[in-house]
Structure 1
Amino acid sequence: MRRTLLLLPLLFSPLLQAMQALDDESLSGVSGRDGISMETTGSGWSANSVSYSEDGQSLSLKGVSNRPQSGNATSTTKIDALANQLQIEHSASPQVLSVDNVEMAGSSKSFGAFKAFYTLGASLKLKGGGASGVSGFTVDASRLSLSDVTFYYRDNGLDLIVGGLSFDAYLNNVYADIVSGGSGQEVKLELGSSRFVGQLGSLRLDLAHSDPAGVAVTPNTPDTRDPNSNRSFGQLKLDLNLGGSLSLGGGGASGEGLRLRPNISIANSLFEYRDDGVLRAENFAGVLSSSAGLTLDLEQDAGGSYAKLAFADLRLNATLGGLIIGNPANQKLGSLAIDLNFQDQGARQNWLKLRPGGDPSSGLKGVSADLSWNMLNSSVSLTDNGNSLWFSGLRTHGTGLVSLDLTKNCAAAGPGCHPSVWGGADQGSYTGHFDGLRLGLNNVKGSYSFDGLRVGTPTAPLQGGTELLVLLGVFPAYDFTLNGQLTLQPGGSLGDGLRYNADFYVSEARAALTVDETGKGLWLAGTSYEMHFRGGSLDISSAGTDGKGGIELRKGTSWSKLDVADVRWGDRASGTSLGRIVLKSYEQGSTLALSSGGAGALCVGGSGSTGAACTASGGRWEDRGNEGVSVKLKSVLVRDSSGNPANSVATTDKRNQLIWETNRAKDGNGKDINGSGSQLVIDNFYTADGDVANPSKNDYGLQVDLSLDVASTKVKLKSGPNAGSNVSPDPLGFAVNGQVRFKEINVDRLQNVHPAGGATTAMYGIKAQNADIRANLTATPIN
């Protein structure tokens, strides 16, 4: 077996540009008695092709070059031996690295092209002896820097632009050795107590459809081909304190290849995403580890060549401590932690097969990936004022195909744009892909489930409570097949952030509304769910309507159809059917906002803004601390103005409608025939502001405010000799304080449908006004 491997560690170094012997004239410029000072100049270098080959497959970089951004490249390197260390100081003028195409042999498609403007610097202190002190080498009190980076990724003539990018690595007590690993000899890098500081100033898109001049050649200069190219997805900052090790060895999952074995720890670090507001974790910590390692292989199947990234095991543990969402002056959320454990389990495996070319309707460039995942024994936890809650026993597995492309709206782009294969309810006006970065989803078959909640300690008794999150679309268990697309554009409703258009179709789905440890509960079986979003946005704001700001999701214009073949009570497959449910929704201007800080001090079961006033009203005063999560939902339900057909049920897609169907006829296989039974239809319901002077005003909508905390509460014993007395001490629970409000909800008509007699309107013009419903629920263990 023959293996060809071309490493490029000096790809960014101008030392490769003009190496030549020193003559007498050059030597005369050397001063001092110790060390070497070397200055090089040159016009750069280029290569027609740079390839990595293994097991008969190859990945090639075509048209590779590294040149100065202007004039000739210059670099200065100083080498000294001081205090038993080899000290290297390196600085260079700004460079530009360019790759015209990234290809896999045998494929007519490609991963695209890229160009990077950058400046490289280094200050290294090296000495012999690795972790053992005998072989290898040590790096201490050193720094590597990559600054002034602007990166362009080009896909089908469109650009993803990363600007204001910089990295600084501070290396302390770093050891490099060649050691024996599980698959042979490995290069092991012990990270010691290193620090990594990085920032991303902007992430932009330039979606001009044609550009014969090629990628812009001046870094950090806005590209004016697209008037929206200055808008950004936002800014990112990282300050990571790293430890642990990283090992690199030969041999992939099979045959030749590469194996990377991470055991990296992060402690006392900072993570910050900034839009108008911030998403900041002031104490970021975690672990990334794999015993078997991550393998990279080049392979081929009936679908063509691909690069396979696989991992038989991988643990990702991360804690976002001191988490603030929205206004920097907000109360903190507390800390959010994830513990994800990926593990191969028979046919359920973890891998990505990366292929050149994205969605078939998006041209010959882009990226697509067959994927398979299996995660078990995982959890998500929230700590609020020292009290912790775990979503315990998280499991998920699945397979599918995803694609990533830069796409252009065909209606705007004109000839040459690739049309979309996606249909949907608005197929007539959807003439192609939307402008933006498009994530395509093709037959993604998956499943996830939670065992339940644990409060106090990770080994506390399992309890219910996940049902309280169904309103947010989080089910205790969910099986699904997902198709569709999500297209992102930089810039939110104002300033940075993102905008989106999306179409999703979920089929063969089964969701639990509530389920116990035996799998018995209330199930939505045989479900299909179609969702469409137009003109949506996602921002992090520093000032919302309550001054707290937070993550603000605007749904734009959205419509959906949920069709549940059987609402089952008991077993998910054979439980008693309560009939069929169909729910259509049509909304404009609906929002979802998340911010840090929960309910704080509140009166439960009474009214009053102080403890004394609350007690006097018959309530109980509870202080849930200054941490937690606040959720605000506003649903603006729009009236379908197409009319109400007589003696039949309206079939318009963009309409708010609820259908309950029972007593359906059976087909030859004993399966219920939808539309053959008796139906109760709540048709064309919508919100309004109840403004007599302006009856069509519809801004207030249906508003739901939720405050989520982990807090103690009063619980009475139900049975036993002390029945009726309080449990002592007060048990911890998952506390949800909620308020539901609306000014007016209208229903055009209530219909009864008989399978033989047709539809009859039972009631016209139903109206409900000025509701304010408050509730406080705390889920605690039964035992």
Structure 2
Amino acid sequence: MRPAPLLFGMLLASQVQAMEALDDSSMAAVSGQGGINLETSSQGWSASNISYTQDGRSLNLRDVSNRAASGSTSTSQTTLDVQDGQLQVQHSASPQVLAVNNIEMDGSSKSFGAFRAFYTLGATLKLKGGGASGVSGIAVDDSRLSLTDVTFYYRDNGYDLVVKGLSFDTYLDNAYLDIVSGGNGKEVKLNLGDARFIGTIGGISLDLAHGDPTASPVTPSAPDLRDPNASRSFGKLSMDLRLGGSLSVASGGASGEGIRIRPDLNIGSSLFQYQDEGILRAENFSGTLRSLGGLTIDLAQDAGGSYAQVAFQDLKLNATLGGLIIGNPTNQKLGSLAIDLNFADDGAKQNWLKLRPGGDPNSGAKGLTADVSWNMANSSVSLTDNDNSMWFSGLRTNGTGQITLDLTKSCAGGASTGCYAGTQSDMSKGSYNGHFDGLRLGLSNIKGGYSFDGLRVGSANAPLQGGTELLVLMEIFPAYDFTLNGQITLLPGGSSGDGVRYNADFVFSDARAAITVDETGKGLWLAGTTYDMHFRDGSVDVSNNGVELRKGSYWSKLEVSDLRWGDRATGTSLGRLVLKRYELGSTLALSSGGAGALCVGGSGTNAGACSASGGRWEDRGNEGVSVKLKNVFVRDTAIESTTNGVATDEKRNQVVWETNRVNSAAGSGSQLVVDNFYTSDGNPSDPNANTYGFNADLNLDVAPTRVCATNGGNCTPVSPDPLGFAVNGRIHFKEINVDRLQHVHPTGGAVTSMYGIKVQNADISANLTATPIN
């Protein structure tokens, strides 16, 4: 018996008998299917080395691979079709992982480190020929590129920087890709048309446990985290950018071979937000990024070894952060903050970045070193508050130096593999140069400076005026030249929740800072200055109260060789000045919203009460900036060392003014010393309580104010009220103590003139407005 052929024949016969012709109405309902559908499966690929060679130098990616994120096989689906004159491509793939075991230059023993990225790639593209000219090139419409479910690991010396919850979606419409003639020959030009970029970062954390440097995380959902604090994050970031303009790429670097990238980008009506417990949000972010000469990328070598150089002869960055909110989303707005930065080469003052493999010499063989040089001229920063604008005009800055970037480990818990204790192992000392747990930014011989011409209020072309002196309380000087060395090491997680924790040491030397200065450079100068600052266990958070910086344990020493009146170098010296500070629990908080409505020159909570008290009622609007400074000064309970009868302890609050020096030598003249000052809550039942501190509350606005023109002793009001930079301030504290006031002679030693000074319960309010004299 042969049942199978018999059954097949019966079925075939039944199908043949059922076949019949379709009429026209039936045919009209049938649509044809065309195109290509590709389904692929792969075990991935790997390469022992991928090398880019240029001008005899090479950049090498070692042990590169791309494989399935889980299992042994990855799959993808790609559909190609032609509709309405367009090639339509749809692509989706299973999760994959890209790994690079080492990034080297010219076979150096040092490297940039390693990285591993888990990701899922998708695309919907609609392409047609023609480009921007309509003749050649490629046009892109109604297309989307997506990179989702990304977890990125950067590995340096066995520690991981982990970026989680990363996604990018790029939408392209009316975009064109062409080969055109540029300033250096042919270049590939991408015209962005109407592009939109949406990106999020769910969190950035650090895994600092010193484990097997060859170990790798298994999956992004269950990474091999070895540190219990690795779940803490620097915070969340999201953006929705609407982009236009173009980006061009050409061959040839600054010299010889290389790459030249010429950006001409526009950003409009975009959103940018950082989120911790509170938010830092720009609801209307716009700007431009433009370079006529382009950014060049070259590989080169000098006495310091091989490096990759990014350089630009000109670069213009213009950005406006509109609808800026700091803190609670329901807060008043800051207004808008705008920057107009113009970088341009000027002789020896140039703009470049040389990236070298390997970081700090004491941080292992991996990391990043960057030699930097910058020159920014004729730039400005402006603040618009209730449609009133103010410019920090004529901003200039230039300098050179070296920056290192590493993931490091402290030896505080005892010496172990991979940590560095430094030559001074006592972390309480200012000379400590070891490492902390975290992402370390090292600063070496940063020689630079900056200056402002002054303020302009009302328009960018308004007369220059003073007013920057009102920011000195926040240590923002009108002009500052310096040499900077030091480090700042960051850990994820703030004082609570997300945010940043930090340890830092900064040493400024050969510095000159202006307290007040006019357009000729004459003013009050801190000349011949050294300033060292040390922070332990500080934090930065964005809460509903705004940006909150906690200084942790902080001590510093500012020593001014000459307090000069007049020219910064030759002005009359008022003597030597030393200021030491030792603080615990000091804070700085910055939030949006200024003074609002207030009574100037009187008291009262409404216009009637204010006028009755002899004051003037002003409403400065619902925008502006509020700053709260709190300094908690700590008493030094035991003197460790002295010179000529004056305590020299590193952690001590002290002011020294010295005059009549011999050849300007420190310690050779007569001194007035305010020694061991500190704050207190003034609580008799708890004399050690010290949390209230010394407070300065500042409300910054740009607002009209009443100004009088004097004529023969008479005050004639200026009409209309001119705009000014308005600062409403309040200084308050419960108690400030001074252990002793000393007079010191270079041969006779110290004599205590006053002992046990107290100042209690001060609450001082002031309103200052800087307006043009003319």
TM-score (norm 2): 0.94
Matched, 1:686 2:663: no
**What is the distance in 2 between the residues matched to 1:429 and 1:370?**
24
- The equivalent of 2:627 in structure 1 is 631
1:773 to 1:644, Cα distance in 2 relative to 1, 3 A: farther
1:643 to 1:614, Cα distance in 2 relative to 1, 3 A: same
Equivalent in 705, 709, 716 of residue 697 of structure 2: 705
Instruction: For residue 69 of structure 1, report the CA deviation from its aligned partner.
Output: 1.1
1:454-469 map, 5 Å: 454-469=456-471
Instruction: For residue 706 of structure 1, report the CA deviation from its aligned partner.
Output: 0.1
- The equivalent of 1:738 in structure 2 is 729
Instruction: For residue 384 of structure 1, report the CA deviation from its aligned partner.
Output: 0.1
- The equivalent of 1:45 in structure 2 is 45
Instruction: For residue 211 of structure 1, report the CA deviation from its aligned partner.
Output: 2.5
- The equivalent of 2:11 in structure 1 is none
Equivalent in 648, 662, 665 of residue 662 of structure 2: 665
Kept in 2, the 8 Å contact 1:411–1:432? The answer is no
AA aligned opposite 1:749: R
**What is the distance in 2 between the residues matched to 1:203 and 1:419?**
24
Q: What is the DSSP-based 3-state SS (H/G/I as helix, E as strand, rest coil) of the residue aligned with 2:280?
A: strand
**What is the distance in 1 between the residues matched to 2:201 and 2:357?**
27
Q: What is the DSSP-based 3-state SS (H/G/I as helix, E as strand, rest coil) of the residue aligned with 2:98?
A: strand
Kept in 1, the 8 Å contact 2:385–2:701? The answer is yes
- The equivalent of 2:481 in structure 1 is 479
Kept in 1, the 8 Å contact 2:158–2:214? The answer is no
User: Runs of 4 or more off by more than 6 Å in structure 1?
Assistant: 644-647
AA aligned opposite 2:462: A
Structure 1 residues without counterparts, runs of 5 or longer: 1-30, 543-548, 667-671
**What is the distance in 2 between the residues matched to 1:345 and 1:710?**
34
Q: What is the DSSP-based 3-state SS (H/G/I as helix, E as strand, rest coil) of the residue aligned with 1:364?
A: coil
Instruction: For residue 410 of structure 1, report the CA deviation from its aligned partner.
Output: 1.9
**What is the distance in 2 between the residues matched to 1:63 and 1:417?**
24
AA aligned opposite 1:510: R
Instruction: For residue 223 of structure 1, report the CA deviation from its aligned partner.
Output: 3.9
1:427 to 1:644, Cα distance in 2 relative to 1, 3 A: closer
1:468 to 1:305, Cα distance in 2 relative to 1, 3 A: same
- The equivalent of 2:574 in structure 1 is 578
**What is the distance in 2 between the residues matched to 1:403 and 1:463?**
39
Percent of aligned pairs sharing the same letter: 70
Structure 2 residues without counterparts, runs of 5 or longer: 1-30
Matched, 1:526 2:528: yes
Superimposed CA distance per residue, residues 596-655 of structure 1 (whole angstroms, 9 cap, x where no aligned partner)? 000000000000000000000000000000000000000000000114989700000000
Equivalent in 583, 588, 591 of residue 587 of structure 1: 583
- The equivalent of 1:762 in structure 2 is 753
Kept in 2, the 8 Å contact 1:164–1:220? The answer is no
1:257 to 1:645, Cα distance in 2 relative to 1, 3 A: closer
**What is the distance in 1 between the residues matched to 2:641 and 2:51?**
66
- The equivalent of 2:58 in structure 1 is 58
AA aligned opposite 2:598: L
Q: What is the DSSP-based 3-state SS (H/G/I as helix, E as strand, rest coil) of the residue aligned with 1:53?
A: strand
- The equivalent of 1:81 in structure 2 is 82
**What is the distance in 1 between the residues matched to 2:224 and 2:622?**
46
Kept in 2, the 8 Å contact 1:348–1:373? The answer is yes
AA aligned opposite 1:39: E
Q: What is the DSSP-based 3-state SS (H/G/I as helix, E as strand, rest coil) of the residue aligned with 1:696?
A: coil
**What is the distance in 1 between the residues matched to 2:427 and 2:147?**
48
Instruction: For residue 421 of structure 1, report the CA deviation from its aligned partner.
Output: 4.8
Kept in 2, the 8 Å contact 1:294–1:309? The answer is yes
Q: What is the DSSP-based 3-state SS (H/G/I as helix, E as strand, rest coil) of the residue aligned with 1:188?
A: strand
**What is the distance in 2 between the residues matched to 1:376 and 1:428?**
35
Kept in 2, the 8 Å contact 1:422–1:484? The answer is no
Q: What is the DSSP-based 3-state SS (H/G/I as helix, E as strand, rest coil) of the residue aligned with 2:336?
A: strand
**What is the distance in 1 between the residues matched to 2:241 and 2:300?**
35
Superimposed CA distance per residue, residues 728-782 of structure 1 (whole angstroms, 9 cap, x where no aligned partner)? 1100000000000000000000000011211100011000000000000000000
Q: What is the DSSP-based 3-state SS (H/G/I as helix, E as strand, rest coil) of the residue aligned with 2:412?
A: helix
Kept in 1, the 8 Å contact 2:423–2:433? The answer is no
1:581 to 1:429, Cα distance in 2 relative to 1, 3 A: closer
Equivalent in 638, 650, 654 of residue 651 of structure 2: 654
- The equivalent of 2:25 in structure 1 is none
1:32 to 1:96, Cα distance in 2 relative to 1, 3 A: farther
After TM superposition, the structure 1 stretch with the greater mean CA deviation from structure 2, 642-651 or 257-266, is 642-651
Kept in 2, the 8 Å contact 1:411–1:431? The answer is no
- The equivalent of 1:536 in structure 2 is 538
- The equivalent of 1:289 in structure 2 is 290
Instruction: For residue 426 of structure 1, report the CA deviation from its aligned partner.
Output: 3.2
Q: What is the DSSP-based 3-state SS (H/G/I as helix, E as strand, rest coil) of the residue aligned with 2:718?
A: coil
**What is the distance in 2 between the residues matched to 1:201 and 1:413?**
34
Equivalent in 465, 485, 488 of residue 490 of structure 2: 488
Matched, 1:596 2:609: no
Kept in 1, the 8 Å contact 2:446–2:485? The answer is yes
**What is the distance in 1 between the residues matched to 2:79 and 2:413?**
55
Kept in 1, the 8 Å contact 2:641–2:649? The answer is no
- The equivalent of 1:10 in structure 2 is none
AA aligned opposite 2:62: K
Q: What is the DSSP-based 3-state SS (H/G/I as helix, E as strand, rest coil) of the residue aligned with 2:646?
A: coil
Instruction: For residue 419 of structure 1, report the CA deviation from its aligned partner.
Output: 2.3
Kept in 1, the 8 Å contact 2:59–2:104? The answer is yes
1:323 to 1:131, Cα distance in 2 relative to 1, 3 A: same
Matched, 1:749 2:740: yes
Kept in 2, the 8 Å contact 1:223–1:229? The answer is no
Q: What is the DSSP-based 3-state SS (H/G/I as helix, E as strand, rest coil) of the residue aligned with 1:468?
A: helix
Instruction: For residue 213 of structure 1, report the CA deviation from its aligned partner.
Output: 5.9
Instruction: For residue 413 of structure 1, report the CA deviation from its aligned partner.
Output: 6.3
Instruction: For residue 441 of structure 1, report the CA deviation from its aligned partner.
Output: 0.3
**What is the distance in 2 between the residues matched to 1:329 and 1:103?**
49
Matched, 1:207 2:208: yes
Instruction: For residue 725 of structure 1, report the CA deviation from its aligned partner.
Output: 1.2
Instruction: For residue 414 of structure 1, report the CA deviation from its aligned partner.
Output: 3.1
Superimposed CA distance per residue, residues 222-254 of structure 1 (whole angstroms, 9 cap, x where no aligned partner)? 543101000000000000000000000100000
Instruction: For residue 411 of structure 1, report the CA deviation from its aligned partner.
Output: 3.0
**What is the distance in 1 between the residues matched to 2:531 and 2:107?**
39
AA aligned opposite 2:515: L
**What is the distance in 2 between the residues matched to 1:380 and 1:639?**
40
1:137-152 map, 5 Å: 137-152=138-153
Kept in 2, the 8 Å contact 1:505–1:530? The answer is yes
Kept in 2, the 8 Å contact 1:419–1:431? The answer is no
Q: What is the DSSP-based 3-state SS (H/G/I as helix, E as strand, rest coil) of the residue aligned with 1:606?
A: coil
1:48-197 map, 5 Å: 48-71=48-71, 72-197=73-198
**What is the distance in 1 between the residues matched to 2:111 and 2:166?**
26
After TM superposition, the structure 1 stretch with the greater mean CA deviation from structure 2, 503-512 or 418-427, is 418-427
**What is the distance in 1 between the residues matched to 2:128 and 2:641?**
85
Superimposed CA distance per residue, residues 566-603 of structure 1 (whole angstroms, 9 cap, x where no aligned partner)? 00000000000000000000000000000000000000
AA aligned opposite 2:680: A
- The equivalent of 2:299 in structure 1 is 298
**What is the distance in 1 between the residues matched to 2:770 and 2:466?**
7
Instruction: For residue 217 of structure 1, report the CA deviation from its aligned partner.
Output: 1.6
- The equivalent of 1:441 in structure 2 is 443
Kept in 1, the 8 Å contact 2:293–2:312? The answer is yes
Instruction: For residue 719 of structure 1, report the CA deviation from its aligned partner.
Output: 2.9
**What is the distance in 2 between the residues matched to 1:632 and 1:466?**
18
AA aligned opposite 1:684: N
**What is the distance in 1 between the residues matched to 2:537 and 2:737?**
26
**What is the distance in 2 between the residues matched to 1:475 and 1:699?**
28
**What is the distance in 1 between the residues matched to 2:298 and 2:414?**
38
1:483 to 1:36, Cα distance in 2 relative to 1, 3 A: same
Equivalent in 435, 452, 455 of residue 453 of structure 1: 455
Q: What is the DSSP-based 3-state SS (H/G/I as helix, E as strand, rest coil) of the residue aligned with 1:487?
A: strand
Matched, 1:725 2:716: yes
- The equivalent of 2:14 in structure 1 is none
Structural RMSD (CA): 1.5
AA aligned opposite 2:743: N
1:605-620 map, 5 Å: 605-620=601-616
- The equivalent of 2:333 in structure 1 is 332
Instruction: For residue 221 of structure 1, report the CA deviation from its aligned partner.
Output: 2.8
Kept in 2, the 8 Å contact 1:536–1:553? The answer is yes
Matched, 1:310 2:307: no
